[in-house]
C-alpha cells in the first residue's frame, strides 16, 4: 500500500506559501520509485532536476541519488542515509525512517514519467508567480538607471528563458530518425518546382549554390563598401515575401508553403529608403527618378500599382538604430509570435550593439553573431550583411605590396653584388 504522510515544506518560509502550487505526495512517490529501482532515473532525468522539487529535503535526496546513479552506485534508503545523517530537514521529517517510508510509497514504473512532468509543470508555475512578483516590485521601484523599456525587455527575456527550459537539449536521436529527416528534405526538393528543399531567394544562380534558404541557417554576406550588399539582401527579402503562400506544411501544421514572412533590421537606412528601393525594383523605375519625382504619367501609374500590389507583402522593417543584441532577439521573437517569421535579415552586423563591455570589437561582434542563432534556431534563416572584406582586402593588398618590395630589394642587392 502507498501510505503517504503529509509533511510541511522545509526551509525558509515564503510569504503566502500556501498559494504556491506544489504536490508533496507526487514528490514522495517519485523519489520512492527511484530509490527502489534506480533504472527509472533515466526516464525522468531529462524532465526534472533537483531544482524542480518544492520541498528542499526532497531536492537534496534527489540530488544525492542522481549523483550516485551517475557514478554507477546504488541509491537506496540505506546508502543515502549515510549522506544525510546530519541533515536538519530530514531529522524534522523523522530521520532515516522517512527514507524507508518513501521507498514504501513508490509508484509503478510506467507512471514515473507522468509524475516527473507534473512536478516540472508545478515548478514552472511557481517560477511564473515569482517572476510576476519580481516584475511588479521592479516596476513599483522608481530608479533612474532602470528605464521602463529596459524592464519590459528584461521581463520578456526571463519569460522566454522560462518557456524554453527543457527544449534546447534534444539528446541523442537514432540514425533512423536522422535519415528519415534527410529523406523528407530531399522529397521536398523533388516535389517543389525548381528542385529546392529550402525557401527560394528568387535568384537562380544563388539557389543553385545554396539549394534555397534553410531553417537554422546563419549566413554572413560580406563585401567591400558600395558592392551592393544591402541591394542583394533587399532583393532576397522582397522575393521571399512576394512569393509567400500559407497552407498546410509537410508535418501537418499551418505555415508557409512557399516564400516566407521576412523580418528586416535596417540599422543604417530608414524604412522609407528601404521601401523606395523595393518599389523601384518592383516598378522598374530608377530610384533617382523616384526621389526627384522625374516620372512620366505612365511611370507614376506603374509606381502606384506596384505599391498597391505590395500592401499585403509580409515584409516587416525595423529601422531602429544601434539596437543591442538583446532587444534585437526580443523583437524577432515578438514578430514570430504575432505574424510568424521565416527569414530574418540584419543590415548590417557591425552596427549591432553588444551587451556589456568588451575589450575587442571583433569579439563583441562574434558574440552578437552567435547570440542571434540559438533563440530562433529551429524556425528562421538569418542573413547578416557585414562589410568585413574591406579590412581583409586591404590587409592582403598591403601584404602583397610588401612581398613585391622585398623581392625587388633582393633583386637589386643581387645586381649590385654581381
pLDDT in tens, 177-212: 778 777 877 776 666 655 677 788 888 888 888 878
| Residue 383: closest CA among 396, 372, 394, 374 | 372
Indicate whether 91 belongs to any domain.
yes
pLDDT band of residue 231 (cuts 50, 70, 90) is: confident
| Cell numbers at 8, concatenated | 510541511
Q: Give residue 386's pLDDT.
A: 54
Least confident of 73-77, 243-247, 275-279, 413-417: 413-417
356 and 273 share a domain? yes
176 domain-assigned: no
Residues 230, 375, single domain; the answer is yes
Are 126 and 254 contained in the same domain? no
pLDDT confidence bin for 164, thresholds 50/70/90: low
Local structure of residue 146 (DSSP, 8 states): -
Same domain, 279 and 154: no
**Which domain CATH number covers 116?**
1.10.860.10
Q: Considering the domain boundaries, does residue 403 fall inside one? A: no
Query: Are 136 and 209 found together in one domain?
Result: no
Q: How far apart are CA 156 and CA 40, in angstroms?
A: 36
pLDDT at 138 over 80: yes
Say yes or no to pLDDT of 317 above 70.
yes
Q: What pTM was estimated for this model as a whole?
A: 0.54
| Same-domain check for residues 150 and 296 | no
Give the pLDDT band of residue 404 (cuts 50, 70, 90). very low
Q: Which of 163, 185, 211 is the last residue of a domain?
A: 163
Asked if 222 and 137 sit in the same domain, the reply is no
115 located within any domain: yes
Q: Domain of 208?
A: 199-387
Specify the higher pLDDT residue, 311 or 112: 112
Q: What is the pLDDT of residue 1?
A: 43
Q: Are residues 213 and 356 in the same domain?
A: yes
How far apart, in whole angstroms, are the C-alpha atoms of residue 416 and residue 418?
A: 5
Same domain assignment for residues 294 and 355: yes
Has residue 69 been placed in a domain? Answer: yes
Residues 239 and 353 in one domain: yes
Based on the domain organization, do 259 and 380 belong to the same domain? yes
Q: What is the pLDDT of residue 115?
A: 92
Q: Look at residue 149 and tell me whether its pLDDT is greater than 80.
A: no
CATH number, position 337: 3.40.50.300
Task: Quickly list DSSP for 84-124.
Answer: STT-HHHHHTTTHHHHHHHHHTPPPGGGHHHHHHHHHHHHH
**How many Å apart are CA 202 and CA 233, to the nearest integer?**
11
pLDDT of residue 354: 62
Count of domains forming the chain: 2
Beta strand ranges found along 138-232 (DSSP E): 218-222
Is 284 inside any structural domain?
Answer: yes
Q: 314: closest CA among 330, 298, 336?
A: 336
* Choice between 62 and 13, residue whose per-residue pLDDT is larger: 62
- Torsion angle, CA of 210/215/218/219, rounded to 10 degrees? 30
Domain endpoint, select from 142, 163, 184: 163
pLDDT of residue 191: 66
320 and 207 belong to one structural domain: yes
Q: What pLDDT digit, counting tens, does each position of 345-397 carry? A: 888 777 776 655 555 555 555 555 555 555 455 545 556 565 544 333 333 33
**Closest to 93 measured CA to CA, from 1, 31, 19, 15:** 31
| Any domain includes 395 | no
Tell me whether residue 338 is in a domain: yes
pLDDT of residue 345: 87
* pLDDT recorded at residue 60: 92
| Terminal alpha carbon distance of the chain | 106
Per-residue confidence band for 31, with pLDDT thresholds at 50, 70 and 90: very high
H or E segment at 402?
helix 389-417
Amino acid at each position: 500500500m502507498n501510505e503517504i504522510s503529509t509533511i510541511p515544506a522545509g526551509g525558509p518560509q515564503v510569504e503566502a506559501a500556501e498559494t504556491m502550487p506544489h504536490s508533496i505526495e507526487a514528490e514522495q512517490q517519485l523519489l520512492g520509485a527511484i530509490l527502489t529501482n534506480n533504472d527509472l532515473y533515466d526516464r525522468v532525468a531529462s524532465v526534472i532536476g533537483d531544482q524542480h522539487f518544492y520541498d528542499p529535503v526532497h531536492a537534496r535526496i534527489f540530488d544525492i541519488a542522481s549523483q550516485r546513479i551517475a557514478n554507477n552506485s546504488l541509491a537506496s534508503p540505506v546508502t543515502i542515509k549515510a549522506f544525510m545523517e546530519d541533515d536538519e530537514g530530514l531529522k524534522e521529517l523523522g530521520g532515516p525512517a522517512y527514507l524507508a517510508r518513501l521507498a514504501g510509497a513508490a509508484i509503478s514504473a510506467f507512471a514515473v514519467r507522468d509524475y516527473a512532468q507534473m512536478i516540472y509543470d508545478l515548478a514552472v508555475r511557481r517560477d511564473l508567480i515569482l517572476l510576476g512578483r519580481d516584475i511588479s516590485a521592479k516596476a513599483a521601484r522608481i530608479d533612474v538607471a532602470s528605464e521602463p523599456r529596459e524592464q519590459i525587455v528584461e521581463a520578456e527575456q526571463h519569460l522566454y528563458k522560462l518557456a524554453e527550459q527543457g527544449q534546447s537539449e534534444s539528446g541523442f536521436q537514432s540514425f533512423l530518425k536522422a535519415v528519415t529527416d534527410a529523406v523528407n528534405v530531399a522529397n521536398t526538393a523533388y516535389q517543389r518546382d525548381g528542385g529546392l528543399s529550402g525557401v527560394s531567394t528568387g535568384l537562380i544562380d544563388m539557389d543553385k549554390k545554396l539549394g534555397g534558404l534553410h531553417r537554422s541557417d546563419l549566413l554572413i554576406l560580406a563585401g567591400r563598401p558600395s558592392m551592393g550588399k544591402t541591394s542583394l539582401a533587399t532583393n532576397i527579402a522582397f522575393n521571399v515575401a512576394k512569393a509567400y503562400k500559407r497552407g498546410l506544411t509537410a508535418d501537418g501544421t499551418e505555415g508557409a508553403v512557399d516564400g516566407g514572412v521576412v523580418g528586416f533590421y535596417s540599422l543604417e537606412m530608414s524604412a522609407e529608403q528601404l521601401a523606395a528601393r523595393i518599389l523601384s525594383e518592383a516598378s522598374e523605375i530608377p530610384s533617382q527618378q523616384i526621389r526627384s519625382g522625374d516620372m512620366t504619367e505612365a511611370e507614376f501609374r506603374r509606381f502606384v500599382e506596384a505599391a498597391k500590389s505590395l500592401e499585403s507583402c509580409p515584409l516587416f522593417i525595423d529601422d531602429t538604430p544601434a539596437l543591442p543584441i538583446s532587444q534585437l532577439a526580443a523583437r524577432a521573437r515578438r514578430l514570430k509570435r504575432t505574424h510568424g517569421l521565416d527569414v530574418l535579415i540584419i543590415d548590417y552586423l557591425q552596427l549591432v550593439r553588444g551587451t556589456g563591455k568588451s575589450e575587442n570589437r571583433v569579439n563583441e561582434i562574434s558574440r552578437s553573431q552567435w547570440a542571434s542563432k540559438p533563440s530562433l534556431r529551429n524556425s528562421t534563416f538569418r542573413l547578416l550583411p557585414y562589410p568585413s572584406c574591406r579590412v581583409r582586402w586591404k590587409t592582403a593588398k598591403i601584404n602583397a605590396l610588401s612581398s613585391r618590395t622585398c623581392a625587388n630589394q633582393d633583386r637589386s642587392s643581387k645586381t649590385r653584388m654581381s
